[in-house]
Each structure stands twice: as C-alpha cells, then as structure tokens.
C-alpha cells in the first residue's frame, strides 16, 4: 500500500483549536487511508477529534502527516491544502463583524 508523508507548518493564528481540528478530522474522514499526525512525541489518528486536539499544535508548529492506503496521496494533498489555506480562518477573521459570506448583513436596521 502506498505511504505518503509530509511536514506541515500550522500558520493560522490560533493553531489546531476546535474549529480547525474539526475541519482536519472531517477532511481525513473522507479517505479510506490510515492517516496519522505527529507533533513532538505524540502520534494520533487524524480522524479523531480528541486526538487532534490533544496534540496542542500552535501557530508555527510543524506537524508530521502520514497516510497509508490506496488514496493516501489524495488524502495528504487535501489536508495539506486545508492547512495552507489556514483552515479558511484568515478570511473570516478579516471580514467586518456582522458581514456574512452571502453579502447580507446580520445587523438589524435601526
């Protein structure tokens, strides 16, 4: 079975907190491959929210991603793209409060 490995640097401001961890786990769950994340001495299943959160990876941390299985290359590529996009958090953080992605404000008129 193919094995694909990459080192990824977490660059979003808050690291692998709840929302990015959830997105990573959801992405990993789309694939049949066994996917592991390593940070420091810990290695966890990338399909486990508890495991990913337990890593405690912060901004600037380098995590090692390893996938083994028929769809390993696609799995690693998808997770790598998610990390490179900062888990889509920067876009949301830069958006003015009350403005949605649909262009409709959540504020009520005066």
Residue range 92-102, pLDDT digits in tens: 444 444 443 43
Catalytic residues: 17
pLDDT tens digits, one per residue of 62-105: 999 999 999 999 999 999 999 999 998 865 444 444 443 433 33
End-to-end distance of the chain based on CA atoms, in angstroms? 62
Q: How many domains does the chain have?
A: 1
pLDDT at 91: 55
Q: In which element (H, E) is residue 54 found?
A: helix 49-55
Residue 108 belongs to some domain of the structure: no
Quote the domain boundaries for residue 75. Answer: 3-89
The two tokens of residue 97 are: 């409060």
Residue 99 belongs to some domain of the structure: no
Cβ pair 59, 11 in contact under 8 A: yes
DSSP annotation of 69 reads: S
Averaged confidence pLDDT in the chain: 86
Query: Domain of 83: which CATH number?
Result: 3.30.1340.10
């Amino acid at each position: 079975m193919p094995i694909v490995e990459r080192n990824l640097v977490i660059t979003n401001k808050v690291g692998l907190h709840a929302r990015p961890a959830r997105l990573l786990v959801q992405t990993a769950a789309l694939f049949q491959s066994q996917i592991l994340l390593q940070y420091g001495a810990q290695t966890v299943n990338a399909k486990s929210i508890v495991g990913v959160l337990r890593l405690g990876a912060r901004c600037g941390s380098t995590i090692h991603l390893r996938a083994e299985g028929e769809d390993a290359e696609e799995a690693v590529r998808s997770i790598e793209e998610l990390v490179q996009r900062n888990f889509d958090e920067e876009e949301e953080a830069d958006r003015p409060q009350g403005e949605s992605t649909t262009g409709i404000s959540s504020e009520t008129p005066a």
